Amino acid sequence: MSKLQWFRLYSRMIDDDRIRLLAFEDRWHFVALCCLKSDGLLDDPNPDLRMRRIAVKMGLQLRDLEEVKRRLFEVGLIDENMSPKAWDELQYKSDTSSERVKKHREKSKASKVKRSCNVSVTPPEQSRADTDTEQKKDNSTPKSELETVLDSEHSQAVIAHRRSLKKPLTKHAAKLLAKSLSQCPDPNAAADMMIERGWQSIKPEWFEREIAPRSHSPPQNPRTSSNAMLDALKDFTNEPDSQNDTFDGHTIEGAPGRTTGKRRDWEDAGTDFHSISNIGGR
């Protein structure tokens, strides 16, 4: 049988009683012999040279190889030449492509003779390269385009976001979006911003504008009527005569109390003087 790069190994082998009678290392020895048979080494007509080459391939001394041969032969897995039994029945001739290739070449040669001499059977190399490039482009997806700048999680999130906007990404749209994201300082953060804002796309200037620090002036405290009242009360309490409960002529607009202006009169009128003086934290 011609040399093969591979051979058939059947799943029922694990239930074969002959295999199960062997120790684990001899089971591997049998598989190794199948590999050598497929490689053509076991068909060497010189028995002495064949045995030495088998020993080298299997990493065994000659005397150890003789013991392996004896054990495998006793259970009926190999013949005297160390070839696996029923090899030709289990390996099909159709497994080798030699005959098929030969027939195909003969058929192609006959067909080429019938064609006109100005027809090129084999396409030019440039055309093949173009075809390969087109096939590679066809294999791209929106997700693969986004993953050139985003991680897998953010790529999937952007695709889901566009789908929720009823604007699903095409391969070309994903390529354009990936280009815009690549121009941002942090493409993944830009993708998050796009999703949070509900944007269909994003530009580098949008991202930079959103993350730029904004200056906030402290709010001005407008002067209210309460502030005016507090100032008047402060003036009233700070006067030297206020400790003697005398009225010095100051008038507090809109404040309840008796006409004397004395502090106890304010308290008699139901005004909480201390509460008023504490307005605004003064």
Cα–Cα separations (whole angstroms), residue 271 to 2, 96, 236, 250, 264:
118, 112, 15, 17, 10
Q: What pLDDT score does 72 carry?
A: 93
3-state secondary structure of 191: helix
Q: Other CB atoms closer than 10 Å to residue 49's CB: what's the count? A: 10
Q: What pLDDT score does 93 carry?
A: 66
- Torsion angles phi and psi, residue 114, rounded to 5: -75, -25
Closest C-alpha to 31, from 1, 64, 65, 72: 72
Q: What pLDDT score does 66 carry?
A: 93
Regarding pTM above 0.75, the answer is: no
Q: Other CB atoms closer than 10 Å to residue 141's CB: what's the count? A: 13
pLDDT tens digit at each of 282 positions of the chain? 445 678 788 888 888 889 889 999 999 999 999 998 888 888 888 888 899 999 999 999 999 999 999 999 999 999 988 999 888 878 876 655 556 666 777 777 777 666 655 555 555 555 555 555 555 556 789 988 899 989 999 999 999 999 999 889 898 998 999 998 998 988 999 999 999 989 988 888 988 888 876 545 455 555 555 566 666 666 655 555 444 444 454 444 544 544 455 445 444 444 444 444 444 444
| Amino acid at position 98, single letter | S
Q: What pLDDT score does 68 carry?
A: 94
Q: Supply the DSSP string of 44-83, one letter for each residue.
A: -S-HHHHHHHHHHHHT--HHHHHHHHHHHHHTTSB-TTSP
Taking the domains of the chain in order of start, what are their residue ranges? 11-92, 142-211, 225-281
Residue 33 half-sphere exposure toward CB, CA atoms < 13 A: 24
